[in-house]
Structure 1
């Protein structure tokens, strides 16, 4: 299977704000720009999956039309990590001891009382295992940088705790609208 992992376009949110699971819009111009860059690299008639958050579904719906695909399957397991009380707060406004607690246990800590990376890794693994059983040639997944890192960790054959540690410790450089292609 060829897995086409796409990070959503830049949402309309101020810089340096924690927004994990918050459902944010994306400017139509941003969607159009990302779509134009992606289309030459994506297969037609592929199975399409998306995080249920608007910054992903707006792009996946637009891609489905252009690629002659069925509407994307919206899957909660592809949603970004929930940062609890940290959602929509400036990173500088989050108390330093809370940030330090997360830094000391990146995989297990639940920022703002939300989800831990370990919990997110388990739902991503469940999605990936189900996807493997579908016997499809091409799958396009529109989601988030954290989810992409975890899906990539699945391809290394890591256990769920190893996936969580891998994703939590590895800084990401996945740009908004970036495409990563994984051959499974």
Structure 2
């Protein structure tokens, strides 16, 4: 199976804020630019799956007349850290998360293992459908997890590998995965 993973367009949010699962729209003009760049991938009835968060859902609706929304594709929920400046989050909390990347719940939200478990369940369900190709509009964290799952190993190994992968996925960037 080939997965065409697309990170959402730039959200309408100030730089430096932790926004994980906050439901933010895309910035002005970002959807149009992404649709133009991605139109080659969204044709011939290709199934389009997406996180239900607005920055993904808006793009998915423009790429497909019937996108399939799945909450398991949403970005990590950072609890009390959501919509706070990264600079305002106490250093000891960030250090605690770095000390236990898999199980610490930043801001009381989700742990990396929580997110990995739901993303893996989506991946397994998608694979069971026997599709040749699918386009998925989601988030950088979700893309890193899906990419890591494809490398094999236990769920814990995949989650830790994804958590340790530097975030370098641009807005509206395409990542291609093959089974």
Counterpart mapping for 1:94-113 below 5 A: 94-113=89-108
Tell me, yes or no, if the aligned pair for 2:123 and 2:146 is still in contact at 8 Å.
yes
Instruction: Give the corresponding residue for 2:118.
Output: 123
**1:91 is the counterpart of 2:86:** yes
Aligned structure 1 segments of 4 or more residues deviating by more than 2 angstroms: 40-44
Instruction: Give the corresponding residue for 1:143.
Output: 138
Unaligned runs of 5+ in 1: 66-70
**1:156 is the counterpart of 2:117:** no
Distance 2:62 2:132 in 1: 21
Instruction: Give the corresponding residue for 1:31.
Output: 31
**1:133 is the counterpart of 2:128:** yes
Deviation at 1:27, TM superposition (A): 3.0
Give aligned pairs, total.
Answer: 179
Any idea what the Cα deviations from partners look like across 1:53-106, whole Å, max 9, x if unmatched? Answer: 0000000000014xxxxx111101000000000000000000111011011111
Tell me, yes or no, if the aligned pair for 1:43 and 1:138 is still in contact at 8 Å.
no
Deviation at 1:40, TM superposition (A): 2.2
Instruction: Give the corresponding residue for 2:168.
Output: 173
* Alpha-carbon RMSD: 1.0
Deviation at 1:28, TM superposition (A): 4.5
Distance 2:63 2:28 in 1: 13
Counterpart mapping for 1:8-47 below 5 A: 8-47=8-47
Tell me, yes or no, if the aligned pair for 1:4 and 1:42 is still in contact at 8 Å.
no
Deviation at 1:168, TM superposition (A): 0.8
Deviation at 1:42, TM superposition (A): 4.0
Unaligned runs of 5+ in 2: none
Deviation at 1:158, TM superposition (A): 2.4
Instruction: Give the corresponding residue for 1:68.
Output: none
Q: TM-score, normalised by structure 2?
A: 0.97
Tell me, yes or no, if the aligned pair for 1:4 and 1:138 is still in contact at 8 Å.
yes
